[in-house]
Amino acid sequence: MTFPQIIQGGMGVAVSGWQLALSVSKRGQIGVVSGTALDLVITRRLQLGDPGGHLRRALAAFPNQDIANYVADRYFIEGGKAPDKPYKSKPIIDHNPRRRAQELLVVSNFVEVFLAKEGHDGLVGINYLHKIQTPTMPSIYGAILAGVDIIIVGAGIPLEIPGIIDRLVQHEPVEMKLHVKTTEGTRIDRITFDPKLIFEESRPPEKRPSFFPIVSSATLATLMVKKCDGGVNGLIIEGPTAGGHNAPPRGRPNLNEIGEPIYGPRDDIDLDSIGSHGIPFFLAGSYGSPDGLVRARAAGAAGIQVGTLFAFCEESGLRPDLKHETIAKCKAGTASVFTDPIASPTGFPFKVLSMAGTASEEDVYESRSRVCDLSYLREAFEKEDGTIGWRCSADDEKMYVRNRGKFEDTVGRKCLCNGLMANIGMGQLRKNNVEEVPLLTCGDGVSSILKIIKPGESTYSSSDVIDFLLNGSESSMTARATAHQATS
């Protein structure tokens, strides 16, 4: 299959929402929705009153109306919740999830993909983090039911995913490994999902989506191609300048003078080796420019994945004030991105955009009471009696240590879950009307957005990004960026 040249990256929690993916797919490129925490996103959107009725329209299309009606009845609030009221919680999924938790995951992923695919025949993908294991199988099933075209998985080694996809399109039970931390290392358990939770009756097979893993080395690409349980249809090769989570440097970790991981020659990617597999591949991380697309194509790539340029466009899910502040910082030449080696509870380096009033600032970070109530980045651990417990290194330090964790692993950890929800205007309201603060992430090349913004304007659309990448002149766009900075 021949794919379009541009994949719009699946970013954050609902930054790559259905509106952005829809707009990109309508332009003939690959629009991608973020699959992270969609059960939380959908329940909070419903509590905000579902402006436009989009979620309820998608719920009406879900093939099990008993489940769809339960979700709507439980979470929808006509006119939206009162501003001084917190969001209602939803079930947390673990190694032994409740039925309602699994149903909500299936429905939520269906809704987001359904809306992204509505009214056109373009390609829509969904992006998952392999590090977040427990929601993966019901989430994928929901996306498949909505006709998703591509499933993208990063932040790990997702060898089992293609086989899981193959079985889910047949509505068959599936299982995957669960990594459980022990005092000696890691043990492997299994988690399961059965589509019969959603449909008791038999159903015809669904369309099988393509599978694109995100990898950071030729070695990992080869492993995925040769060892996957099922087929790999494309590869996304992501370098360390991309936003969000990055692969750690290979070899002994070293930090630069400001505390960022140092990447060296061992982290360079052998594109000839990757091309030898004969599978379409896309390059990500500082390829978001006309020249970047040309370089990628010259290296044998089918195209590029672009995140940061889309993150701040009009259709993205980021709060408008955060977009405007970021653009203003780019124009002033003060935008600063820090690759934080310890912020993420996953243990992966994480890009953080510095901005006043967000958790990027030490005083803001320190003023937050540590609590893990969303729990997507928790890790499974073995209790003293051999059963499975759950802990998060961004949780209260005493709680983490009580759960057989090491205190030193809590130092500098930030609550990505609550911060990313605040990024999209859905931060939880705490005691004394204290709202969770944002934590912004983007790629190193965030100032490149100035090349897209037209003179006299302060916003830009996803179509502007696509036009820039496919038709832009690098020299004229660089001059435009310089002019923006000169007049700021």
Indicate which CATH number applies to the domain containing 88. Answer: 3.20.20.70
- Residue 12's closest CA among 250, 322, 289? 322
Task: Please determine, for residue 349, whether its predicted confidence score (pLDDT) is greater than 80.
Answer: yes
Residues 6+ apart with CB under 8 A from 422: 435, 436, 437, 438, 439
Domain count, the chain: 1
pLDDT digits (tens, 9 = 90+) for 407-421: 999 999 999 999 999
SS (H, E, C) 261-276: ECCCHHHCCCHHHHHC
Pick the more confident residue, 155 or 353.
353
pLDDT band at 475 (very low <50, low <70, confident <90, very high): low
Residue 337 · residue 353 · CB < 8 Å: yes
Q: From CA 235, how far away is CA 228, in angstroms rounded?
A: 13
Query: Is 463 inside a domain boundary?
Result: yes
pLDDT digits (tens, 9 = 90+) for 66-108: 999 999 999 999 999 999 999 999 999 999 999 999 999 999 9
> So what's the pLDDT on residue 251?
86
Mean of pLDDT values over 39-60: 98
> So what's the pLDDT on residue 476?
56
Q: What single string gives the DSSP state of each residue in 265-308? A: GGG---HHHHHTT---EEEESS--SHHHHHHHHHTT-SEEEE-H
Query: Is 407 inside a domain boundary?
Result: yes
> So what's the pLDDT on residue 477?
58
Query: Is 260 inside a domain boundary?
Result: yes
C-beta neighbour count of 225 within 10 angstroms: 18
- Please give the single-letter amino acid code of residue 123: L
pLDDT band at 473 (very low <50, low <70, confident <90, very high): low
Least confident range of 128-132, 263-267, 297-301, 470-474: 470-474
Q: From CA 354, how far away is CA 349, in angstroms rounded?
A: 15
Q: What's the predicted TM-score (pTM) here? A: 0.95
Task: Please determine, for residue 479, whether its predicted confidence score (pLDDT) is greater than 60.
Answer: no
Pick the more confident residue, 231 or 26.
26
Mean of pLDDT values over 190-201: 96
Task: Please determine, for residue 155, whether its predicted confidence score (pLDDT) is greater than 90.
Answer: no
- What percent of the chain is modeled with pLDDT above 70? 97
Mean of pLDDT values over 377-393: 96
> So what's the pLDDT on residue 240?
86
**Containing domain of residue 42, as a range?**
6-487
Residues 6+ apart with CB under 8 A from 278: none
> So what's the pLDDT on residue 105?
98
> So what's the pLDDT on residue 474?
59
Task: Please determine, for residue 229, whether its predicted confidence score (pLDDT) is greater than 90.
Answer: no
Task: Please determine, for residue 483, whether its predicted confidence score (pLDDT) is greater than 60.
Answer: no
Pick the more confident residue, 486 or 317.
317
Q: What are phi and psi of 455, to 5 degrees?
A: -55, 135
What are the CA-CA distances from residue 471 to residues 2, 317, 452 (Å)?
20, 26, 12
Query: Is 1 inside a domain boundary?
Result: no
pLDDT averaged over every residue in the chain: 94
Query: Is 401 inside a domain boundary?
Result: yes
What are the CA-CA distances from residue 351 to residues 247, 306, 329, 488 (Å)?
11, 15, 17, 26
> So what's the pLDDT on residue 488?
59
Least confident range of 39-53, 95-109, 232-246, 395-409: 232-246
